[in-house]
Amino acid sequence: MSPVGNSGHQHTIGIRRREILQVGYSGLLGLGLSTCLSRPAWPRPAGEAATDSTRSVEPRDPRPKSVVLVFLTGAASHHDTFDMKPEAPAEIRGEFQPISTSIAGLHVCEHLPRLAALAQQYALIRTLSHSDNNHLMSTHHVLTGTKQPGGFFDKVSSRDDWPCYSSGLAYMRPRNDGLPSGINLPTYLMEGPLTWPGQHAGFLGAKYDPWQISSDPAKPDFKVDHLTLAPGVDITRLGKRQSLLAEVDREQRRMADIAESQRMTADQHLAFSMLTSNRLAQAFDLGREPDALRDRYGRNTTGQSLLLARRLVEAGVPLVQANIGRVQNWDNHGKIFPTLKDRLLPPLDQGVSALLEDLQSSGLLDETLVLMLGEFGRTPKINADRGRDHWGQCFFGLFAGAGVRGGQVIGRSDEIGAYPVTTAYSPNDVGATVYRLLGVPDDAEVRDRLGRPVRLCSGTPIEPLFSGAGV
């Protein structure tokens, strides 16, 4: 797996204004989070609550689940992983062979032996489909459940975008326990001038953004500076240092002319709650895990990111997105077979299988949806550079846990894996499924930047995942 440092987003906390907002101006003010004490500012101010009428609607599921979204950024080839076509011509079927799984009649790629052995735990959808072949627009669609508003080729992230799942959850089900509704790790999807949409709260505003971790958990010196106390300050002492409120108040007055100063207050309270609860800080300490378990996940970015995702879910974070690789990690236009065989599939197979086994053994799998997919699939025909190009018309998704009926395949693509021949499911449907499991009503509404009510997600939850009625 390529190191995270090659991702084009090499800093830990952030250098851009939007990312600075995520830590509540603490760096801008010269204050570490250890000094960011605030009076309670969570949930939303009373003046805003009246506009959020949909929050009073009870979710369909009284016991919301957690979600680990394993995002194969750049888009993995379905032909060479979970929807192989061994009977197709050579220019379609590729170089890999299918192998049997623990479910009779279900075959996957030979380079996914551990996941093959766990097929009874997950369901495969082979007919995910949408109409875009652009990375940015498709990523937004998959990570929000809605097409990018005003989308066009390489339209970068903006506050006109739709909210990602954790942001929609934060808006609909605000929490006051000091934990964020979502954490993304270990990379921020950005390359040169292009910032991938679908990674933040969009028109809901920066206060609902997920927390972004941009450091490699596989490195020996991994730490999350957002949650690190100043030297010599422990949790107990921090809780007693109420005199620092005056210092923060002085800084707030200095920043009164900044439009987002109200967000700073909320973030200071969140930071204080996170630090004093100690739950989240401890979750980031991978050293608490046995060496054997860390080895089982794989001592690489993929494996340790998935282990960290499990720890965060265990700590109470409802949605964790683990980006597997750089923004175009799976964008294999050339040399796809050696790249998959030698670099991409082995750590994915090891890490995801360890995650499923770990969640199963701890009892968390019943309460946690593990969802793995990319933004689209790859072309049926192998190109002259021995790679595959973008293909949104047909791709796969792997689903496990949270009531999903494992050991089934939902949907069937045609003989070359180009188009669905049974029911096609859109990213909107994936989004509706995620939101339902998170306890958000199917008909939930939010308000756009003009204050107008809009449907959070217009898709339909994918019922065959839970009924076992896959085709």
CA nearest neighbour of 414 among 125, 83, 107: 83
Question: What residues contact residue 219 under an 8 Å CB cut-off, 6+ apart?
Answer: none
Model pLDDT, residue 225? 67
Model pLDDT, residue 12? 34
Q: Output 346 or 47, whichever has higher pLDDT.
A: 346
CA nearest neighbour of 69 among 148, 182, 211, 207: 182
CA nearest neighbour of 138 among 371, 427, 443, 444: 427
CB-CB contact of 397 with 97 (8 Å) = no
Total structural domains within the chain: 1
Domain that holds residue 342: 4-19+64-234+291-467
Model pLDDT, residue 375? 98
CA nearest neighbour of 39 among 369, 321, 266: 266
For tokens 């390359």, what's the residue? 191
Query: What is the rounded distance in angstroms from the CA atom of residue 229 to the CA atom of residue 216?
Result: 20
CB-CB contact of 170 with 208 (8 Å) = yes
Q: What is the mean pLDDT of residues 74-82?
A: 98
Does 56 have pLDDT greater than 60? no
Question: Residue 41: inside a domain, yes or no?
Answer: no
For tokens 């954490």, what's the residue? 183
What single DSSP character describes residue 107?
E
Question: Residue 278: inside a domain, yes or no?
Answer: no
Does 99 have pLDDT greater than 50? yes
Query: What is the rounded distance in angstroms from the CA atom of residue 319 to the CA atom of residue 312?
Result: 9
Query: What is the rounded distance in angstroms from the CA atom of residue 225 to the CA atom of residue 230?
Result: 10
Q: What is the CATH number of the domain that holds 371?
A: 3.40.720.10
| Identity of the residue numbered 48 | E
Question: Residue 178: inside a domain, yes or no?
Answer: yes
SS3 content of the chain, % helix, strand, coil (to 5): 35, 15, 50
Does 89 have pLDDT greater than 50? yes
Instruction: Tell whether pTM > 0.85.
Output: no
Does 54 have pLDDT greater than 50? no
Question: Residue 252: inside a domain, yes or no?
Answer: no
Model pLDDT, residue 286? 96
Q: Output 196 or 250, whichever has higher pLDDT.
A: 196
Most confidently predicted of 41-50, 261-270, 432-441 = 432-441
Does 7 have pLDDT greater than 70? no
Model pLDDT, residue 176? 82
Model pLDDT, residue 253? 56
- The CA angle 415-465-308, to the nearest 5 degrees, is 105
Q: Peptide bond before 64: cis, by omega within 30 degrees of 0?
A: no
Query: How far does the chain reach from its first CA to its final CA, in angstroms?
Result: 35
Question: What percent of the chain lies above the pLDDT cut of 70?
Answer: 75
At 449, is the pLDDT very low, low, confident or very high (cuts 50, 70, 90)?
confident
Q: What is the mean pLDDT of residues 406-433?
A: 98
Query: What is the rounded distance in angstroms from the CA atom of residue 108 to the CA atom of residue 83?
Result: 7
Model pLDDT, residue 470? 58
What are 210-227's pLDDT values in tens digits? 999 999 999 999 988 655
Model pLDDT, residue 209? 95
What are 344-399's pLDDT values in tens digits? 999 999 999 999 999 999 999 999 999 999 999 999 999 999 999 999 999 999 99
Most confidently predicted of 26-30, 98-102, 323-327 = 98-102
Query: What is the rounded distance in angstroms from the CA atom of residue 447 to the CA atom of residue 203?
Result: 8
Model pLDDT, residue 53? 33
What are 141-178's pLDDT values in tens digits? 999 999 999 999 999 999 999 999 999 999 999 988 88
| Identity of the residue numbered 392 | G
3-state class (DSSP) for residue 4: helix
Query: What is the rounded distance in angstroms from the CA atom of residue 288 to the CA atom of residue 383?
Result: 46
Model pLDDT, residue 177? 82
Alpha-helical (H) ranges within 102-183 are 113-117, 135-144, 165-172
Question: Residue 253: inside a domain, yes or no?
Answer: no
Strands (E), 149-269: 182-185, 190-191, 194-195, 211-212
DSSP string covering 278-289, please? Answer: -HHHHHT-GGGS
The chain-wide mean pLDDT, for the chain, equals 83
CB-CB contact of 276 with 235 (8 Å) = yes
Does 260 have pLDDT greater than 80? no
User: Longest Cα pair distance anywhere in the chain, in angstroms?
Assistant: 73
Query: What is the rounded distance in angstroms from the CA atom of residue 113 to the CA atom of residue 128?
Result: 24
At 91, is the pLDDT very low, low, confident or very high (cuts 50, 70, 90)?
very high
Does 190 have pLDDT greater than 50? yes
Q: What is the mean pLDDT of residues 446-469?
A: 92
β-strand partners of 213: none
